[in-house]
Amino acid sequence: MKIIMLGAPGAGKGTQAKMIADKYKVPHVSTGDIFRANIKNGTELGKEAKQYMDKGLLVPDELTVKILLDRVAQADCENGYVLDGFPRTIPQAEVLDKALTELGDKIDYAIDVNVPDENIIKRMSGRRACLACGATYHIEHIPPKKEGVCDRCGEALVLRDDDKEETVKNRLNVYHEQTQPLIEYYTGKGILKEVDGTVPMDQVFEAITDILG
């Protein structure tokens, strides 16, 4: 069972990817984690990727797919995997499809965790973080006992730059421009499944397990 997770930043696709991986005993493959592992281990692919990253350049799609295929060729991916964070664009999806086809393989499901922009802005701009101990809160859903103060260590809570409304809107614009076309792409391939990401997390997961069986 080979799955791609789609959804806007803050839609909760990473959380769902981990839950799918746990339930179906398949690896949760995050491109960010693979890059870090290859660079840390000094692999040839890692060295190549690092040359781009050190210059602040994007790693080319072909190299990203090579690193990804190297990861999914490992024994723990024999029964499938959940891809999180890749592909982000149609060209990336095409390179991945071509590479998998050459291996006699394919993606089984692309699952879109669908959440409207206004929900995401509200969700992310309500987050608060403690920079001292790493605890996270939400002013509506998981508020601290005392406003602006971490329950765990008593330090001040902050709104991270990543979660500021303006930043969230910019990230959503990039998503709509670059990543949302993948929904049409995978619909055309007959493998797109959409779930409502506005309901509680366990209900989102239930909808996904109904699809996967």
Task: Specify whether 152 is catalytic.
Answer: no
Active-site annotation holds for 127: yes
Which entry of 36, 152, 160, 189 is annotated as an active-site residue? 160
Residue 36: active-site member: no
Q: Using CA atoms in the order 66, 71, 75, 77, what is the torsion angle rounded to 10 degrees?
A: -100
Q: Is 71 a catalytic residue?
A: no
CA distance 21 to 50: 28
- Contact in structure between 195 and 213 (CB atoms under 8 Å): no
The 10 Å CB-count burial string (b at 16+, else e) for 113-127 is bbbeeeebbebbbbb
Catalytic entry in 50, 88, 169, 193: 88
Q: Which of 2, 13, 66, 123 is catalytic?
A: 13
| 88 a catalytic residue | yes
Query: Looking at 71, 123, 127, 128, which residue is catalytic?
Result: 127
Among 50, 122, 171, 193, the one annotated catalytic: 171
The residues carrying an active-site annotation are: 13, 88, 127, 160, 171
